[in-house]
Amino acid sequence: LLMHDASSEASLLERCQNLHQKATLDPMTQVANRAEFDRVLAMFVTAHQEQRFPCAMMICDLDRFKRVNDTYGHQAGDDAIKSLAALMKSCARAGDLVARYGGEEFVVVLIQTDAKGAFKFAERMRKTVSSLAVMTPDNQKLKITISLGLATFPDDATEGPALIARADEALYEAKRSGRN
């Protein structure tokens, strides 16, 4: 009988997994962080160029977020961000990427999704969020809404940065048009 103590190897594997999570996940929301989004977007675009599958990107921003923080406090703002991230994760399909882009802004890359499918996904997200209530620290129900911008590949762009720019442009048009 030969025995080998593998506890140090198991510990190393666990530490590597923890480091990977810290490097790729946003600590507050547990969705992909900006660096991971940038890395994966390049892979998505390359794969979709080779396979000729459509894909779409949705940029989402909490409406009047500064007012939430100023009125109810930063904890309520953080809770709104966490609720939105959890909702987006639950609505995304296996293979889609949900990431925190910055602040209260999120992106979803939808694989094998054309413009019509992306619009359905975005509209479902918008309606679900507008029916969501986040509890404030003083137990008030806070209603939140989001504005969304969509872009599709290859219709709106043929590379990652152009896809982001097109989705961002659509997001700002949604905000100018009245939000939600």
Query: Do residues 152 and 119 touch, judged by C-beta distance below 8 A?
Result: no
Answer whether residue 7 shows pLDDT above 80: no
Please write the tens of the pLDDT for every residue from 106-165: 999 998 899 999 999 999 999 999 988 888 778 888 889 999 999 988 766 678 888 899
140 compared with 169, residue with greater pLDDT:
169
Strand partners, 32: 25, 99
pLDDT of residue 94: 93
pLDDT of residue 6: 58
Among 20-24, 123-127, 161-165, 175-179, the minimum mean pLDDT is found in 20-24
**Could you give the residue numbers annotated as active site?**
104
Alpha-carbon dihedral 135, 170, 95, 160, rounded to 10 degrees: -130
Question: Which residues are CB-neighbours of 77 under 8 A, at least 6 positions away?
Answer: 65, 68, 69, 104
| Mean pLDDT within 58-83 | 92
Please write the tens of the pLDDT for every residue from 37-59: 999 988 888 887 788 788 899 99
pLDDT of residue 35: 94
pLDDT of residue 141: 87
Query: Do residues 85 and 30 touch, judged by C-beta distance below 8 A?
Result: yes
Query: Do residues 171 and 148 touch, judged by C-beta distance below 8 A?
Result: yes
Asked if omega into 161 is within 30° of 0 (cis), the reply is no
Q: If you average pLDDT over every residue of the chain, what do you get?
A: 88
Using CB atoms within 10 Å of the CB of residue 61, give its burial: 0 to 12 exposed, 13 to 18 middle, 19+ buried.
Answer: buried
Q: H-type helices in 131-177, by residue range?
A: 160-176
Using CB atoms within 10 Å of the CB of residue 7, give its burial: 0 to 12 exposed, 13 to 18 middle, 19+ buried.
Answer: exposed
